[in-house]
């Protein structure tokens, strides 16, 4: 089974083979892309559930991170809509 949004965590920039750095911003975009792929039209509901779960737990840092993911997800939806309307 692949990673789900619930199991993904963002860490500080890390190193991959070939010494390519992944910035926190790139990782947030990666989570948004993963969500788009795995949840599609259900993505907004899933994002809201994640943020709600973290709010109940008082995880302010997690809430802030998932709000960033939600913003990137929204950007992806706008881009997809723009591409299909042309």
Q: Please tell me the predicted confidence (pLDDT) of residue 4.
A: 52
Q: Is residue 15 part of a domain?
A: no
pTM of the complete model beyond 0.75 = no
Q: Is residue 62 part of a domain?
A: yes
Q: Is residue 47 part of a domain?
A: yes
Q: Is residue 70 part of a domain?
A: yes
Q: Is residue 1 part of a domain?
A: no
DSSP, collapsed to helix, strand or coil, labels residue 75 as helix
Q: Is residue 11 part of a domain?
A: no
Q: Please tell me the predicted confidence (pLDDT) of residue 74.
A: 93
- For the chain, the domain total comes to 1
Q: Please tell me the predicted confidence (pLDDT) of residue 79.
A: 79
Burial class (CB in 10 A: 0-12, 13-18, 19+), 65: buried
Q: Is residue 36 part of a domain?
A: yes
Per residue of the chain (86 residues), what is the pLDDT tens digit?
Answer: 444 555 555 555 555 566 568 889 999 999 999 999 999 889 999 999 999 999 999 999 999 999 999 999 999 988 776 666 66
Question: Residue 26's domain spans which residues?
Answer: 21-84
């Amino acid at each position: 089974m692949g990673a789900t949004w619930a199991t993904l965590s963002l860490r500080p920039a890390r190193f991959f083979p070939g010494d390519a750095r992944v910035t926190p911003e790139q990782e947030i975009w990666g989570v948004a892309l993963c969500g788009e792929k795995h949840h599609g039209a259900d993505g907004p509901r899933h994002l809201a559930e994640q943020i709600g779960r973290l709010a109940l737990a008082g995880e302010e840092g997690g809430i802030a991170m998932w709000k960033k993911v939600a913003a990137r997800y929204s950007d992806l939806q706008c881009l997809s809509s723009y591409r299909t309307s042309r």
